[in-house]
Amino acid sequence: MAKDEVMESGGAGEFAAKDYTDPPPAPLVDAAELGSWSLYRAVIAEFIATLLFLYITVATVIGYKHQTDSAVGGADAACGGVGVLGIAWAFGGMIFILVYCTAGISGGHINPAVTFGLFLARKVSLVRAILYIVAQCLGAICGVGLVKAFQSSYYNRYQGGANMLASGYSKGTGLAAEIIGTFVLVYTVFSATDPKRNARDSHVPVLAPLPIGFAVFMVHLATIPITGTGINPARSIGAAVIYNNEKAWHNHWIFWVGPFVGAAIAAFYHQYILRAGAIKALGSFRSNA
């Protein structure tokens, strides 16, 4: 058996050959991608997916606030609307749908933090990562713009669905909520798309969007009361740009720093702890020494 073949321990002290293949790391800069239609098709898919994501979810937030507005619906208005649970379902459900639809085209990132984490893990090149993030942010701005166009009478009244740090919470608490929430999401993305799992559980590729959507759903339940739940810089900047109010921009950095830090931690944890990337690299270095 070849020296460099990766081995894994089996039962009763036996060793079996690796039954999966890790894709080669993406180049840091791949200029050849710029001449490939598949790259631009993927960028368009990210733009449209993020546009649809922001349109549905922000419209849900605005609709909920209108339905529970006591000045409109009276004293019993607080009992109406879809509630926080419904908002969380809107975000999680749309991610499930859109990841399912676009995974085979662009990977279904729909989130700059996810793209950043996958870039750090060498799953996408720098060129693709930059174009994805730009497309996601522009798609988010257009999606929220549609909400404002269709619900102009309610949009500004209910703060445009923008992410804001809730009163009573410190900046540190808001930042920690965004870091942990994004870690949960990006860690789930890595786990659901792990080639090792896909090789051993044939049903996993079909079901991959489901745990990702559930991760978004659960994080929203936990962090809506704190920050309104960002965990997606495109979602945050899209609402902030269209609402364009001082409240939306105050502490806006939390919704960029938090998700990027959480994504970086998740990438490191999955690649270098769970998948033992550092140990494999050291072993390869020693074998070539």
pLDDT in tens, 115-149: 999 999 999 999 999 999 999 999 999 999 999 99
284 or 149, which is more confident: 149
CA–CA gap between residue 73 and residue 138 (Å, rounded): 35
pLDDT in tens, 248-277: 999 999 999 999 999 999 999 999 898 775
- For residue 198, the one-letter residue type is N
Q: Which helix (H) or strand (E) covers residue 3, if one does? A: none
pLDDT in tens, 170-187: 999 999 999 999 999 999
Q: Running DSSP on this structure, what letter comes out for residue 123?
A: S
Q: Closest by alpha carbon to 236, among 267, 219, 259? A: 259
Per DSSP, the residues of 52-88 read: HHHHHHHHHHHHHHHHT-HHHH-GGGGG-SSHHHHHH
- For residue 250, the one-letter residue type is H
CA 100 to chain centre: 14
Tokens of 243: 């609402």
CA–CA gap between residue 22 and residue 265 (Å, rounded): 21
Overall residue count recorded for the chain in this entry: 289
Tell me the Ramachandran region of residue 29: left when phi exceeds 0, alpha when psi lies from -120 to 50, beta otherwise: beta
Per DSSP, the residues of 160-182 read: GG---PPTT--HHHHHHHHHHHH
Confidence band, pLDDT 50/70/90 cuts, at residue 285: very low
Q: Closest by alpha carbon to 288, among 4, 7, 1, 22? A: 4
CA–CA gap between residue 86 and residue 228 (Å, rounded): 14
Tokens of 88: 């969380």
Give the global pTM.
Answer: 0.85
Q: Of 8-22, 148-162, 173-187, give the lowest mean pLDDT range.
A: 8-22
What is the C-alpha radius of gyration for the chain, rounded to an integer number of angstroms?
21
264 or 77, which is more confident: 264
Largest Cα span, the chain: 76
Tokens of 89: 């379902």
Q: Closest by alpha carbon to 3, among 279, 233, 283? A: 283
